[in-house]
Amino acid sequence: MSGTEAETGTGSPRAPLRRLLPMFALVAAAVGLDQAIKWLVETHLPFHEIVPVMPMLALYRTWNEGIAFSLLKGLPDTGLIVLTTVVIVFVAYLWWRTPGNRIIAHLGYALIIGGALGNLIDRAVYGHVVDYILFHTQTWSFAVFNLADSFISIGAALIVLDELLIMLKDRKSGK
């Protein structure tokens, strides 16, 4: 495959290695930042006490023994670790198959993998995921989550955005 094919996304769908290296750095940065913040939370934040940050935002250290929104809470750690690993491998496969010119999607895949790895490390080391971000009002509160969860959500949104932009581009060009 020529360099031109890689730049235009034609030919082999795989992203050139030179485009993947910065994404691997993003994965490493996401994991590092997530783990550093979780260490600070675990060593400095009281357990199950609301620490107001600003209206509607607080820190609240808790442990999630399931996956998102405490789903699959009763599944043994080994099962959750295997499930998370399968998801990471599947997302990595999708990432590898995505044409190199789809930078927004590549950013999304990197963030999803970084977030999933951050939570996987928690589960493997502690047997639970450390959560600490709480959005709330006096009458309502959202599930407590962490930076890794945010990376996963932002990554998914970037992939959807990339797909929408491709659809709009195809529609404009009459494909």
Three-class DSSP category at 61: strand
Distance (Å, rounded) from C-alpha 58 to C-alpha 72?
A: 26
Distance (Å, rounded) from C-alpha 27 to C-alpha 35?
A: 12
CA atoms lying within 13 Å on the CB side of residue 78 = 0
Spell out the long-range contacts of 43-48 with Cβ–Cβ below 8 A and sequence spacing 24 or more: 45/132
φ, ψ at 130 (rounded to 5°):
-85, 120
Catalytic positions are 131, 149
Distance (Å, rounded) from C-alpha 69 to C-alpha 42?
A: 20
Cross-strand partners of 47: 61
Geometric angle at alpha carbon 108, from 36 and 60, rounded to 5°:
40
